[in-house]
Amino acid sequence: MKWKVGDSAQLTAVVDDQRIRNFAVAVEDLNPIHLDDEAAMKSIFGRRVAHGMISASFISAILGTRLPGPGSILLGQSFKYIAPVYVDDIVTASVTVTAIRDDKPILTLDTKAVNQHGQTVLTGEATVLFRELDDWRERQS
Amino acid sequence: MKWKVGDSAQLTAVVDDQRIRNFAVAVEDLNPIHLDDEAAMKSIFGRRVAHGMISASFISAILGTRLPGPGSILLGQSFKYIAPVYVDDIVTASVTVTAIRDDKPILTLDTKAVNQHGQTVLTGEATVLFRELDDWRERQS
């Protein structure tokens, strides 16, 4: 295991209108609160907000590409949605290793996302099984 | 509250290559296991798999558009990834109300996704605050 408790990684992205619309189509989520100014004005937020799952998916993106990275298999995730993400907000998602099992290559990570004001928008936890891609191949051959 | 315990809704969608690529770009998740046949062959799955968050996002799509529907505010979600979703699999996501609080309009729902073979690919739970969009507006005026 090349990772240790305390290791962390992050990803920053602008959640602009195009990203929200692309996500909406990709996952069939055409909720008007994300896409329609007039409907969104009636909501508690008073304007359009991004899908919470966009920020959540940034976390999965880090897990799959950076820490632990390719070869990861997501076992479970939890999310608490703390605050809305508005159109054009800049979200920084991050993951930090909190535990690694002795008996299996399974990591637990604290996960969160903050906006450009430093406000936490999402917190959670992830459990990931990790082996390098090349190690998977050796086990199969 | 127009909903009651036991109410359910579902959404079926084909997780084809285009959807996977659109999702990958929307959430910055270019993990090669989702996009690159050669890298994916080295993984435990032996071929490309969809992002787990696509199935997870179908669940959020139901919550935001159908049950409870527009006016929902997602408070929290958990997911266990049970089995991979392969390119061109047909995923049916579903949500079922398991509890409604007496003191606040907060619903708890069991959530899951199955593939075209009836195999469960994802299970979880969601907690949602629900008011109709028009009801939010009245409270603001």
- Alpha helices per DSSP H over B2-132: 17-26, 32-35, 37-41, 52-65
B102 pLDDT higher than 60: yes
Pairing of strands A120-130, A106-114: antiparallel
Does the residue A3 lie in any domain?
Answer: no
Does the residue B3 lie in any domain?
Answer: no
Mean pLDDT, all residues of chain B: 93
Number of domains in chain B: 1
For A59, the 3-state DSSP assignment is helix
Does the residue B60 lie in any domain?
Answer: yes
Once rounded to an integer, what is the mean pLDDT over residues B33-39? 92
Once rounded to an integer, what is the mean pLDDT over residues B112-123? 98
Nearest chain A residue to B70 by CA: give it. Answer: A31
pLDDT of residue A44: 86
Once rounded to an integer, what is the mean pLDDT over residues B24-34? 93
Kindly provide the b/e burial profile for residues B24-45, where b requires at least 16 CB atoms within 10 angstroms of the residue's own CB: bebbbbebbbbbeeebbbbbbe
- Chain A nearest CA to B29, separation (Å): 4
CATH number of the domain encompassing residue B50 = 3.10.129.10
- Residues of chain A positioned with their CB less than 8 A from the CB of B65: 29-31
Whether residue A86 contacts residue A123, with contact meaning beta carbons closer than 8 Å, is answered with no
pTM, two decimal places = 0.93
pLDDT of residue A131: 85
Of B44, B134, B136, the CB nearest to A136: B44
| Alpha-carbon torsion (A54, B88, B62, A60), positive or negative | negative
CA distance B29 to A11: 10
Q: Which of residues 36-75 of A touch B (CB under 8 A)?
A: 39, 42-44, 46, 51-54, 56-58, 60-61, 64-65, 70-75
List of residues 6+ apart from B133 with CB closer than 8 A = A33, A39, A42, A43, B70, B71
CA distance A3 to A99: 10
- Residues of chain A positioned with their CB less than 8 A from the CB of B11: 28
B2 pLDDT higher than 80: yes
Q: ipTM of the predicted structure?
A: 0.91
Does the residue B2 lie in any domain?
Answer: no
Once rounded to an integer, what is the mean pLDDT over residues B58-62? 97
A118: number of Cβ within 10 Å: 7
Does the residue A121 lie in any domain?
Answer: yes
CB contact under 8 Å between A28 and B51, yes or no, is: no
Q: With CA atoms as reference, report the closest residue to A33 among A98, A85, A103.
A: A85
- Token readout for B81 is 């990834």
Q: Which of residues 75-94 of A touch B (CB under 8 A)?
A: 75-81
Q: pLDDT tens for residues A61-83?
A: 999 999 999 889 999 999 999 99
Domain assignment of residue B70, given as a range = 8-140
Does the residue A53 lie in any domain?
Answer: yes
Strand partners, A11: A93
Burial class, B2, CB count within 10 angstroms (exposed 0-12 / middle 13-18 / buried 19+):
exposed
Does the residue A2 lie in any domain?
Answer: no
CA distance A69 to A133: 10
- Residues of chain B positioned with their CB less than 8 A from the CB of A139: 44
CA distance A134 to B126: 36
Q: What is the DSSP letter of A120?
A: E
Mean pLDDT, all residues of chain A: 93
Token match 């909903």: residue? B3
Whether residue A106 contacts residue A5, with contact meaning beta carbons closer than 8 Å, is answered with no
CB proximity A106 to B under 8 Å: no
- Chain B nearest CA to A41, separation (Å): 8
B42 pLDDT higher than 90: no
- Pairwise pLDDT comparison (B121 vs A132), residue with the higher score: B121
Does the residue B27 lie in any domain?
Answer: yes
For A112, the 3-state DSSP assignment is strand
- pLDDT category at A133 given cuts 50, 70, 90 is confident
Nearest chain A residue to B127 by CA: give it. Answer: A80
Q: B132-136 long-range CB contacts below 8 Å, 24 or more apart?
A: B132/B70, B132/B71, B133/A33, B133/A39, B133/A42, B133/A43, B133/B70, B133/B71, B134/A42, B135/B71, B136/A42, B136/A43, B136/A44, B136/B71
- Residues of chain B positioned with their CB less than 8 A from the CB of A137: 42
- Chain B nearest CA to A43, separation (Å): 5
- Pairwise pLDDT comparison (A132 vs A58), residue with the higher score: A58
- Token readout for A81 is 């949605």
- pLDDT category at A56 given cuts 50, 70, 90 is very high
Of B27, B133, B136, the CB nearest to A23: B27
